[in-house]
Structure 1
C-alpha cells in the first residue's frame, strides 16, 4: 500500500469525524430552538461547553483538522521521497493524540456508559433526551472510541512502519479493514440496546439528581 493510499485513508477518517460532529452540533442547536422555552433546557443548554464530553469532541475536531492538513501536505509532496512534515506540526499532532485524544477518549467512553448502564439519571437526566437524541449521544460518547482505535492503528503504522497485529497487514487495502471499526461500533450498539434488559434498575427521582434548579424556581426568578 502506497503512502498516498494511507494518507487518503486517514483523510477519509478525519473528514467523517468532522462531518459527524459538525452535523451533530447543527442538529442539537436546531432541537434547542424548538424547545428553548423548556425550563430544564434553559438551565442545561448554557452549560454545554463546560461538560468534559464537549471538550473531547472539540479536541477530536481540532485533531482531525490538523490531520487533514498533514495528510494533504504529504499528498502534495508525494513526488519528493525526502519530504517530511514541518516538525512543529508533526510534534503538535503527536502530542495532541498521545496526551489528550487517546486517554481522554477512554475516560469519556467508560465513565459515561458505565454510569449510564447503572442508572442514566447519574449522568444524563431524562429531560436531556429532548435536546440530545440517541444518535447524537452515540456520536459524542460512542463514535469517539472507534475513531481513536483506528487512528492508533494507522498512527503506529505511519510512525514505525509496522502494524500492531499481523492481521491488520493482511486486511489493510481490502474491504475488510474498514469493517474493524464498524464491527466494534455494532458490538457497542448491541450492548447498549441490550443493557440489563432483564434486570430492574434502582428507581431514582430524576429531579433530585439534577444539577439544575427546580423548574418552578427558574420560573419564579424570571
Structure 2
C-alpha cells in the first residue's frame, strides 16, 4: 500500500513537471514579440494554423488533466475519487491515444525530416533571428520525451480502434480544411513546403502525412499493449 502511494506521488510529481514545462513553452510561443519576419504568423489564423502550436495546446491540456486526476486521487476519499476519475480518465485517455501521441510524434518526425532535407521548406533560416533555439526545440524536440514519459508512467485505455481512428481522422481532416481555408482567405500557406508543390503534389503530401499519423496511432496502441500488458501479468 505504501509502495503504491509512493508510486502515485512520483507519477503526480512527473505530471506536474511536464505540465509546467508545457505551459511554459506554450506561453513563450504565444508571447514572442511581433516582427516583420514573423508577419505570417500574425496574419489570418495566427499561430493556430500551425500543427506545432496546436500540438503544444493539446499537450498542455493533456498534462493539466493528468495533474487534476492525480491530485484528486491523492486528496479525495475513494468514492469521490472514483466519480471524478470516471469522468476525466476517459477524456485523458482519448486525448493521449487519438491526438497527442500520434500528432506529437508526427510533428517531431515530419519537422526534423524536412529540416534535414531542406530546412527552407519548413523552418527558414531567417526565423533563427526571431525564435530562440530553445523554443524551437521545445516545439519540435522535447515533445517526444514528454510523450514517452506519459506512455511509461500512466496506463491508457484505448477505445475501440474504429472510434480511435475516427477521432484522429476527424482531427486530421478538420486541420486540413482549416489550412486550405486559410490559404483561400489570405493566400498564405501555413508551411513553405506547400508553396512549392502543385495540386497533385499537395494531394500526395497530405495522403502520405495522413498515413504516417495513422501508423503512429497504431504504434502507440501497440506500445501501450506491450508495456502495460506485461506489467499487469507481472503483478
TM-score (norm. length: structure 1): 0.61
- Alignment deviations for residues 65-122 of structure 1 (CA, whole Å, 9 cap, x no partner): 1101100011113x64995353121111111111111111111110011111111111
SS in structure 2 of the partner of residue 136 of structure 1: helix
The aligned counterpart of 2:67 is 68
Deviation at 1:51, TM superposition (A): 0.3
Residue 155 in structure 1 maps to residue 154 in structure 2: yes
* Separation in structure 1 between the aligned mates of residue 97 and residue 8 of structure 2, nearest angstrom: 19
Match of 1:40 among 37, 40, 51: 37
SS in structure 2 of the partner of residue 86 of structure 1: helix
Whether the 8 Å CA contact 2:19–2:60 is kept in 1: the answer is yes
Residue 58 in structure 1 maps to residue 61 in structure 2: no
Deviation at 1:50, TM superposition (A): 1.1
Deviation at 1:134, TM superposition (A): 1.1
* Separation in structure 1 between the aligned mates of residue 120 and residue 101 of structure 2, nearest angstrom: 27
The aligned counterpart of 1:24 is 25
Structure with the greater alpha carbon radius of gyration: 1
Whether the 8 Å CA contact 2:26–2:56 is kept in 1: the answer is no
Aligned pairs for 1:66-215 within 5 A: 66-77=65-76, 80=78, 84=82, 85-156=84-155, 209=192
Q: Which has the larger displacement, 5-14 or 120-129?
A: 5-14
Deviation at 1:142, TM superposition (A): 1.0
* Separation in structure 2 between the aligned mates of residue 49 and residue 150 of structure 1, nearest angstrom: 26
The count of aligned residue pairs is 157
Hey, which of these two has a bigger chunk of helix by percent?
2
Deviation at 1:25, TM superposition (A): 4.0
The aligned counterpart of 2:11 is 10
TM-score (norm. length: structure 2): 0.58
Q: Which ranges in structure 2 are unaligned for 5 or more consecutive residues?
A: 158-191, 196-235
Deviation at 1:211, TM superposition (A): 7.7
Q: 1:130 to 1:22 in 2, by over 3 A?
A: farther
Q: 1:45 to 1:2 in 2, by over 3 A?
A: farther
* Separation in structure 2 between the aligned mates of residue 8 and residue 94 of structure 1, nearest angstrom: 20
* Separation in structure 2 between the aligned mates of residue 89 and residue 25 of structure 1, nearest angstrom: 23
